[in-house]
Each structure stands twice: as C-alpha cells, then as structure tokens.
Amino acid sequence: MLHPKAALIERVQAEGQPKPVFHTERSGPDHEPVFESEVSVDGAPVGRGQGGNKRDAERRAAEAALATLERETHAAAGVSPRDEPFDGPWPMVPEVLAVSLQVANTRVPAELRGDAALEAVQAFALRLYKGVLEEVGEVVEDELEEEEDAA
C-alpha cells in the first residue's frame, strides 16, 4: 500500500500543483518527544499531524491532507461524501476483483519493481474494487455494528 506521504505527493503533482511542504517541530522532554507536522500545498495548509517521531507526525499530516483534498474534490463536484466511510466487510466479487487487478497492473509505472510495484498495484486495485462496489451498492454493513446499534 502506498505510504500516505507518497500518495499525497503523487496526488498534488498529478493535479499540476507543486510538491507539498512539510514543516515539523519537536517539543517535549528528550525521553518523550512530541512532533507536530503541518503540510502545505502551494502555500496553503491542508493537514496537521502529531506523533512520537517525525515520520509518524508527517504521515498523520499527509493522511489529514489527503482527507481534506478529498472533501474539497467532493465539494467542488457537488457530491456529498458519506457521513462515515464504509470500512467493511467488503464482499468478495471475484470478477470485479480480477478486473481491478488487471487495470491496476496496467496503470502502475513500469519503472517500479519488487515490493514497490506490488504495493502500488495492491493500493490501486483496492481503490478500484471498493469504488466499483460502492457504486453498484454491493457493500454490506458489519452485522456486529448493526447489533450494537440495535442494543
């Protein structure tokens, strides 16, 4: 799966924007540091994150930025995203999965090799698979969550 920071860089550059800039500060005592990171795209802050190390803080900031950009994309398109994203369980539809993997395999850059190629194919195929299932209404709510809500 593509690291959130790499996914953010890929997304903004695909949209013709400059590479995101991360500004990370350290605070707290040496034995328990806290890192806070803010990521900006074209000078505008789009995400913040906190962690016990710089990498975690930047990863969380990138995740927040991706969520912000996704909301902005939905708003610009006049589409309202679900109140809560669907986390599964995802039904197994072999035909859709096979096509998603085939498409993802053709879309991954040829220069990627080994684990990087595998992760890129998996991430892209998963996005395709979930997107298709959501579009056709094939997602099912987790029975445990439904039972908890009923109680």
- The mean pLDDT of 139-150, rounded to a whole number, is 45
Q: Quick one: what percent of the chain has pLDDT higher than 70? A: 74
Long-range contacts of 25-31 (CB under 8 A, 24+ apart): 26/54
Write out the two tokens for 94.
Answer: 């072999």
Annotated domain spans of the chain:
4-77, 94-150
- The mean pLDDT of 119-134, rounded to a whole number, is 76
pTM above 0.75, yes or no: no
Q: Which CATH number fits domain 4-77: 3.30.160.20, 3.10.129.10, 1.10.10.10, 3.40.718.10?
A: 3.30.160.20
The string of pLDDT tens digits covering residues 50-76 is 999 999 999 999 999 988 888 887 676
Question: Is 130 within 8 Å of 92 (Cβ atoms)?
Answer: no
